[in-house]
Amino acid sequence: PVLVYIDKITSLLYTIRYMYAVFPVGGLGERMNRLVGERPKPMLPVGGIPILARQLVHFRNAGVTDVILAEGYKSEVIQDYFKDGQAWGVNVHHLDQGIGPSPGERIRLALAEVPETEKDVFVSVGDVLTDVALGGLLKQHREKDSVYTLFTLPPFKIPSGIIMEDFSNGIADFMEKPIIGDGVNSGIAVIQRESYPTIPDGAFFGPMFEMNKTRSGSFKDPDAYWLHAEDEAAYSRMKD
């Protein structure tokens, strides 16, 4: 629809400015050991181009100028490929954190490297492909003065009925193909930089909501596609 197209253009124009994005890309990719091999999972190719490179282009097109890659496993592969980022139209800052830190710790340490002049920062996992309107995400985040705004996907509909058991293993309740929740975590968010010291070790997206319940937002882009290389089957679909 024309209105959606105009909204996406407006969203892109909104973010054409100096801005940072943080990508935690140091994980081992243990669920995809057979495919990952000697490279980090975000460097798996789609159409001959690493997933992470495609993400950087999308964020660059939305106005992001600086990217911090919070690296760990096989960090040299990422560093050798992206170098300073000029070939991709962004300034890439490499932060080799080793293989020990959790996602929350990686993001906290990376955000500490963002200049204090930056109020808001994008945070994204490194193994998804999407065309979400990042400008729209940032616009909503700022208009609501949120600490944390998460791009959320449509809620998950369970394809079969589910049961609830009682203490004697009898069926206490039956729900026919229920829809769970109001949205699903996409792994992409924008946060206020000043909140970074409160980010705990461990997971990131859930704890950020728990700590900022009254100032967290959910951004929906129903026209966006989203693909996540969470396992071999998902990566195969991503390549199709």
Determine the distance from the C-alpha atom of residue 232 to the mean position of all C-alpha atoms in its chain, rounded to a whole number: 19
In whole angstroms, give the CA distance from residue 193 to residue 200.
15
Closest by CA position to 221, among listed 100, 102, 132: 132
Q: What is the pLDDT of residues 200-209, one digit of tens each?
A: 898 888 888 8
Q: Which one-letter amino acid corresponds to residue 5?
A: Y
Locate 67 and state its tokens: 């990217």
Alpha-carbon distance of 86 to 75, in angstroms, equals 18
For residue 5, pLDDT beyond 70: no
Decide: 75 and 94 in contact? Cβ < 8 Å: yes
134: closest CA among 9, 12, 1? Answer: 12
Give the residues across from 91 on adjacent strands: 66
**Kind plus residue range of the DSSP H or E element containing 127:** none
Calpha distance 79→114 (Å, rounded): 19
Which pLDDT score is estimated for 110?
96
Query: Using one digit for the tens of pLDDT, what is the confidence trace for 33-73?
Result: 556 567 888 999 999 999 999 999 999 999 899 999 999 98
pLDDT digits 0-9 by tens, 148-192 = 999 999 887 777 877 788 777 778 888 888 777 788 889 999 999
Question: Can you spell out the DSSP letters for 33-84?
Answer: HHHHTTS-GGG-EETTEEHHHHHHHHHHHTT--EEEEEE-TTHHHHHHHHTT
